[in-house]
Structure 1
Amino acid sequence: MLDRTTPGRRIVAIRVVVLLASLAGLNYIVWRWAASVNWSSWWIAVPLILAETYSVIDSLLFGLGAWRLRERGEPPAAPDPDTLETRVTVDVFVTTYNEEVDLVMRTALAAQRIRYPHTTWILDDGGRPEIRAAAEAAGIGVITRSDDWADRPRHAKAGNLNNALLSTEGEFLLILDADQVPKPEILDRTLGYFKDERIALVQTPQWFENVPESDPLGSQAPLFYGPIQQSKDGWNSAFFCGSNAVLRREALMQLGVARYVTEVEAAVRRAVRTSRKLLVRAREEAVDQPRVLEALDDAETVVERARAEFAAGESIGDVTYRFQRSIDTIAFRFADADLAAMKGDLADLAAMSLGPDTFDALDEAALDLLAQRSSSPLAAIESISLLVGALDVDRGSEAQAIMPLATISVTEDMATAMRLHGLGWRSVYHDETLAIGLAPEDLATMMTQRLRWAQGTMQVFFRENPLVQKGLSWGQRLMYFSTMWSYLSGFAAVVYIAAPVLCLSFGVVPVQAYSVDFFARLIPFLVLNQVLFWVVAAGRPTWRGQQYSLALFPVWIASVTTAFQNVYRGRALGFSVTPKTKQAATGPRWDLVRPQIWAAACLVAALVLVGVRYATGQAEGIAPLVNIAWVLFDLVIFSIIVRAVLYPGPSAPHDKEPS
């Protein structure tokens, strides 16, 4: 859909609805906390009010974004490639790992046909000879990992891009996934924005050709690649989505250098602090060893001097170098003293004219004794030296010292954009389909993809919470936070399933009374929320997205818990490239949606039980009726899971399934 200038009448309508929906949400949730929590059933009443509070905050964040929704007009003209003063250079990167050769070459050949002058590169992270042969036959360059990456962290797609960045020179980079076939005009429609020298990123939508109109797997995301990104664009927080984006090399390299300096400084400061702790521990262990204590005194002087130099703002490299050399000097001095003493002892032994066997035995014993900590301070000092050496400015544990694309999550895009915004760079969301891709064609692949996206987002949240990141405006912080916040919906979904089941099955009511006060507050909030979606979406379908936000609750919960375990407990997430074609048919995969099936079964069972309770006179009043409607709504939501399991995939790339 082509971008338009946001009409004044439309933005006024959006803001009026945002204001009304926000007031209705706040009115409802404040009243719920103050007057309607059934504390006698606190064990479900409290989770329910917390889930509702979560939903109101989610609505407020959505409304805040929509307040500045920005529909850009016709893009500025691209720089004239025939004029020396305006000419710019562009590298087009097609990233691949294990995708089929034909699929990769389809995208690469389309990239080669882009009208604006550029150089096309295939970034083959699999290092496959067949890719190189096909690319070279077509006159397309291939970049693979250098030997520097051997036995070092590879950082998946981020590492692939970082490797290519240091092997190319284009001022701008168009990044494409292996399945995202670009249109010839993609650079003509995006490069003009970079006339603003503070623009670092222009993101365009992802649209998929192999998705039927009914979109049973929820692949098209028209709400995100439209109003949500446009809303973020209004707050200068439209972010990189991994493909179909043009980035300014200068911005990326500045980011890489800035992160390098920040991370090395933090690492070295931690090392110096840790050195101090090691010295304290070493003193405790060597309290009766004067020689060791003397060495530790000297080492402590070195540590304190390094701390003072850092406080004075001296160069990290200079401080680290002097620190390491000083520790080495202490170690060498005592090693020399130990060796000199040993030589004297051995000379005395030789003068006694003992037999060669005896001399060899004494030599071996002396060397063993020297290696013991009780005889030498070397071990304590060496542990300090090695610690700082491992965190020096060369970053020897990484293939590259400079890593412009963020490597802190399994998805490199959001964190990179957030860091760019933190440095003061700007971004653009251009709402025009300029590349056509392939979406997952089966449920298993779709769920793998969604899990990876969600895990990557939550890794960024746990490692670099946008609410506390320096350099971001308060609006940018909230826009990034709103995306991360949305993945917590899985926990709220569990409560929204459990509450009506408990009410219908056992008569447990988490609300004090379903009174006029309750409905007078709840209904306006629900209605205005839907009106807000309708006004903001401007005709784009949003129902499928709403269904999957609840129906994939196990995926969202898994993403949060696994990302937490990864960040705080060091457990590996693993990384898998999303297959671009349907996987081998094994029949309907009901095992993939077992939690949803159990949830739906509980909802159906609750309807049966409430029928029994009505028949026996145990159910009365409006509460069961409200919860019956709630259960029916949940079942309609979960119906999409059945369709997804039974979906056979498109029979041909352009087949359209009837609505």
Structure 2
Amino acid sequence: MESLNWDAWWIAVPLVIAETYSLIDTFLFATTMWRAKERSGPESPPTGTVDVFITTYNEPVAMVMATARAAKNIAYPHETFVLDDGDRPEMAAAARAEGLGYITRSADWTDKPRHAKAGNLNNALFETDGEFLLILDADQIPDPLILHRTLGYFADEERVALVQTPQWFINVDEADPLGSQAPLFYGPIQQGKDGWNAAFFCGSNAVLRREALMQLGIVGYVRELEDSTRRTLRAAERLLAREAGRHRAMPELHKELTRLREEVTGARFVVSAGEPIADVTHQLRTQIDAASRRLVKNDMDLMAEDLAAIHAMPVQRDAERDVVVVDEVGLDALTTRELSPLAAVKSVGALVDALRVDRPGEAQPIQPLATISVTEDMATAMQLHSMGWRSAYHHEILARGLAPEDLQTMLKQRLRWAQGTMQVFLRDNPMAKRGLSAGQRLMYFGTMWSYLAGFAAIVYLSAPIIYLMFGVMPVTAWSGDFFARFLPYFLINQLFFLIVSRGIRTWRGQQYSLALFPVWIRACTSSFANVVFKKPLSFVVTRKDGRVGGSLPLREVWPQLTAIALLIIALITGVVRVLMGTADGTGTLVNIVWVAYSLAALSVVIQALRYKGPAAHAEEAEGAS
């Protein structure tokens, strides 16, 4: 805090927060790599029955069938199923013509939450019976030996629930301007997480144990039913307490409502103690019915009293309408009576009746794959790890797929991934989740933490612009003191990164970690709005059948283009000051370097905008040669 320029606290404080964020991010990355595990392969031979699931929604039939035929030719004995969430007749006909299984949603899913890909897989789980599941996206062509290379892990360790392999894309060239390949993640990072038993499911190219998923579904069903029951009973308690307070002047009614509230309170404690919910709610329903009968009798008695009171009142007959008219005094007397609390008791009965064990709001009472996020993979893996299951990351390319071919599609894909991760962060934070080890908590938290980088990026881009253009310096120590502290950290950080990457090209990933700052910010804000304010998120299936086409998606990247323009202006301003001798030396030079680095990172957006797809790129390269 000593070196902050408090006169410019509005940029100095955000900068120190951003630097602190980055420092924590470095520690999390270092922790990930501390126990990196490199597996050579399973020791045991492959055993067990396998179902291969190919998930599809609206991908071209030819693409899906190419994957399905390759899956059918996997060397290990198995059954292959096309899981068509689009319910397309042409897809069904093509699958059956190849002798493949074809599964689509049943009528039970009509007007019920569909849960996107997770719902598609959950539906198929109850239509098949293989001990293990190989899950493939519609474009992921599997190697014939994929099961031979992965199934043995399940025999090596009894509690292995998941074996994940890399995702690799064949339509990405060496330049990879859209940053689709992720060699650092599908390599050192997943191997680091594997060392902490936290390598997680990535949605495709993975084998899962059915027993683990079904156990996860049953436990989740029981927990959700228990939570729902406790919430419902608490609501019933509040309703009855309010009604009892309103009827204190009527001792019998007050006593009846208080007694029923005590019954509800007792039921809640019994459920928390582990008693069967169906038995508890049945007993409570009996108590509610008995209370209702007593209240009805009380109502009848009150009605008799009212009729007697009306009979005793002075009345007059309206000769024209031939009716008896009660005067104002009589009406006032009748309106002072308390209304019957029977409606409140009926409301409590309706709440209890809603506690059905078949979960009528869902197509399936049991949902094995997690449905709390638009991306089911990480959430499912974290649930499995919290229940004591293990995972393994097998670092061998055993399936090859297709990446997005245009910037717009890539941005939507990254947004969905980030939104799904942040949904899990907000709904099931790993730092507070029971069952996870300390290492697992940090591994999951580290992935979620990384998506907060968008906010730090705003500060990192703004600080040098503000200094070079307006002379406002957030730090007052550009002397040897500052560099004595900063340079060792910075150099060791970069050296560590080089050692970890072991020759892997990581510059493209570093570029996009900064260049996608608007996507990360939008993911955080939209996920928060979804979880807290129930604002829906749209689920968009990633196109992998070519470019979207049309004009350049400038609207999608206007924040990055604006940042580039401001950085160029700041760079020119700084250089001019140096040439004119009006610069302050170290501070200006450091910020010029800072701006140059930021421009180099953001330049990937320009490359991505100009990118015309792998085929066109290959033709241009061939013409140039």
Using the size of structure 2 for normalisation, the TM-score is: 0.91
Alignment of 1:127-276 (within 5 A): 127-195=87-155, 196-276=157-237
- The amino acid of 1:67's aligned partner reads W
The yes-or-no answer on 1:65 pairing with 2:65 is no
Deviations 1:515-565 (A, max 9, x none): 112112222222222221211112211110000000000000000111111
Alignment of 1:391-410 (within 5 A): 391-410=355-374
RMSD over aligned CA atoms reads 2.5
Contact preservation (8 Å) 1:210, 1:653: no
Deviations 1:439-480 (A, max 9, x none): 000000000000000000000000111011111110010000
Tell me how far apart the structure 2 counterparts of residues 653 and 174 of structure 1 sit (CA, whole Å).
Answer: 34
Residue 388 and residue 609 in structure 1: after superposition, are their counterparts in 2 closer, same or farther (change >3 A)? farther
SS at match of 1:327: helix
Tell me how far apart the structure 1 counterparts of residues 322 and 492 of structure 2 sit (CA, whole Å).
Answer: 95
Deviations 1:227-248 (A, max 9, x none): 0000000000000000000000
Tell me how far apart the structure 1 counterparts of residues 468 and 202 of structure 2 sit (CA, whole Å).
Answer: 43
Residue 448 and residue 72 in structure 1: after superposition, are their counterparts in 2 closer, same or farther (change >3 A)? same
Alignment of 1:278-357 (within 5 A): 278-288=239-249, 292-310=253-271, 312-335=273-296
Q: 1:452 aligns with which of 416, 421, 433?
A: 416
Residue 451 and residue 237 in structure 1: after superposition, are their counterparts in 2 closer, same or farther (change >3 A)? same
The yes-or-no answer on 1:44 pairing with 2:8 is no
The yes-or-no answer on 1:91 pairing with 2:51 is yes
Deviations 1:382-419 (A, max 9, x none): 22222233343322111111111000000000011011
Tell me how far apart the structure 1 counterparts of residues 369 and 147 of structure 2 sit (CA, whole Å).
Answer: 21
The yes-or-no answer on 1:627 pairing with 2:587 is no
> Which residue in the other structure is 2:332 paired with?
none
The yes-or-no answer on 1:419 pairing with 2:383 is yes
The CA deviation at 1:343 is 11
The CA deviation at 1:139 is 0.6
The more displaced of 52-61 and 313-322 is 313-322
Contact preservation (8 Å) 1:238, 1:427: yes
SS at match of 1:651: helix
The more displaced of 439-448 and 326-335 is 326-335
Tell me how far apart the structure 2 counterparts of residues 332 and 124 of structure 1 sit (CA, whole Å).
Answer: 53
Identity rate, percent: 58
> Which residue in the other structure is 1:7 paired with?
none
Contact preservation (8 Å) 1:92, 1:173: yes
Alignment of 1:358-377 (within 5 A): 375-377=339-341
Contact preservation (8 Å) 2:41, 2:150: no
The yes-or-no answer on 1:488 pairing with 2:452 is yes
Contact preservation (8 Å) 2:29, 2:446: yes
Tell me how far apart the structure 2 counterparts of residues 575 and 325 of structure 1 sit (CA, whole Å).
Answer: 44
Tell me how far apart the structure 2 counterparts of residues 306 and 68 of structure 1 sit (CA, whole Å).
Answer: 48
Residue 654 and residue 241 in structure 1: after superposition, are their counterparts in 2 closer, same or farther (change >3 A)? farther
The CA deviation at 1:574 is 1.3
Q: 1:505 aligns with which of 457, 462, 469?
A: 469
Tell me how far apart the structure 1 counterparts of residues 253 and 90 of structure 2 sit (CA, whole Å).
Answer: 61
Tell me how far apart the structure 1 counterparts of residues 613 and 600 of structure 2 sit (CA, whole Å).
Answer: 22
Deviations 1:489-518 (A, max 9, x none): 000000000000011011111111211121
For this pair of structures, how many residues does the alignment match?
Answer: 597
The CA deviation at 1:378 is 2.5
Contact preservation (8 Å) 2:409, 2:548: no
Tell me how far apart the structure 1 counterparts of residues 148 and 105 of structure 2 sit (CA, whole Å).
Answer: 31
Tell me how far apart the structure 2 counterparts of residues 159 and 623 of structure 1 sit (CA, whole Å).
Answer: 55
Q: 1:105 aligns with which of 49, 55, 65?
A: 65
The CA deviation at 1:654 is 8.4
Tell me how far apart the structure 1 counterparts of residues 252 and 621 of structure 2 sit (CA, whole Å).
Answer: 83
Residue 336 and residue 577 in structure 1: after superposition, are their counterparts in 2 closer, same or farther (change >3 A)? farther
Residue 621 and residue 344 in structure 1: after superposition, are their counterparts in 2 closer, same or farther (change >3 A)? closer
Tell me how far apart the structure 2 counterparts of residues 221 and 227 of structure 1 sit (CA, whole Å).
Answer: 10
Deviations 1:80-131 (A, max 9, x none): xxxxxxx511110001111111111111111111111111111111111111
Residue 328 and residue 243 in structure 1: after superposition, are their counterparts in 2 closer, same or farther (change >3 A)? farther
Q: For structure 1, list consecutive stretches of 5 or more residues without a partner in the other structure.
A: 1-32, 80-86, 347-356, 360-372
Residue 288 and residue 432 in structure 1: after superposition, are their counterparts in 2 closer, same or farther (change >3 A)? same
Contact preservation (8 Å) 2:245, 2:254: no
- The amino acid of 1:299's aligned partner reads L
- The amino acid of 1:44's aligned partner reads I
Q: For structure 2, list consecutive stretches of 5 or more residues without a partner in the other structure.
A: 308-320, 324-336
Q: 2:606 aligns with which of 625, 636, 642?
A: 642
Residue 358 and residue 627 in structure 1: after superposition, are their counterparts in 2 closer, same or farther (change >3 A)? farther
The CA deviation at 1:288 is 4.8
Contact preservation (8 Å) 1:298, 1:330: no
The CA deviation at 1:342 is 8.1
Alignment of 1:569-584 (within 5 A): 569-584=533-548
Tell me how far apart the structure 2 counterparts of residues 415 and 580 of structure 1 sit (CA, whole Å).
Answer: 24
SS at match of 2:86: coil
> Which residue in the other structure is 2:331 paired with?
none
Contact preservation (8 Å) 1:209, 1:653: no
Tell me how far apart the structure 1 counterparts of residues 103 and 50 of structure 2 sit (CA, whole Å).
Answer: 16
Tell me how far apart the structure 2 counterparts of residues 74 and 249 of structure 1 sit (CA, whole Å).
Answer: 22
SS at match of 2:82: strand
The more displaced of 486-495 and 617-626 is 617-626
Tell me how far apart the structure 1 counterparts of residues 356 and 19 of structure 2 sit (CA, whole Å).
Answer: 49
- The amino acid of 2:62's aligned partner reads D
Q: 2:504 aligns with which of 540, 546, 555?
A: 540
Alignment of 1:548-559 (within 5 A): 548-559=512-523
The CA deviation at 1:292 is 4.8
Residue 623 and residue 427 in structure 1: after superposition, are their counterparts in 2 closer, same or farther (change >3 A)? same
The more displaced of 459-468 and 288-297 is 288-297
Tell me how far apart the structure 2 counterparts of residues 415 and 185 of structure 1 sit (CA, whole Å).
Answer: 28
SS at match of 1:548: helix
> Which residue in the other structure is 1:515 paired with?
479
Tell me how far apart the structure 2 counterparts of residues 42 and 499 of structure 1 sit (CA, whole Å).
Answer: 12
Contact preservation (8 Å) 1:77, 1:189: no
SS at match of 1:175: strand
Tell me how far apart the structure 2 counterparts of residues 343 and 254 of structure 1 sit (CA, whole Å).
Answer: 59
Tell me how far apart the structure 1 counterparts of residues 218 and 546 of structure 2 sit (CA, whole Å).
Answer: 41
Tell me how far apart the structure 1 counterparts of residues 410 and 601 of structure 2 sit (CA, whole Å).
Answer: 18
The CA deviation at 1:344 is 13
Contact preservation (8 Å) 2:226, 2:271: no
> Which residue in the other structure is 1:461 paired with?
425
- The amino acid of 1:252's aligned partner reads L
The yes-or-no answer on 1:54 pairing with 2:21 is yes
The more displaced of 264-273 and 538-547 is 264-273
Tell me how far apart the structure 1 counterparts of residues 584 and 610 of structure 2 sit (CA, whole Å).
Answer: 39
Residue 311 and residue 496 in structure 1: after superposition, are their counterparts in 2 closer, same or farther (change >3 A)? closer
SS at match of 1:36: coil
The CA deviation at 1:628 is 0.5
Residue 332 and residue 156 in structure 1: after superposition, are their counterparts in 2 closer, same or farther (change >3 A)? farther
> Which residue in the other structure is 2:347 paired with?
383
SS at match of 1:428: strand
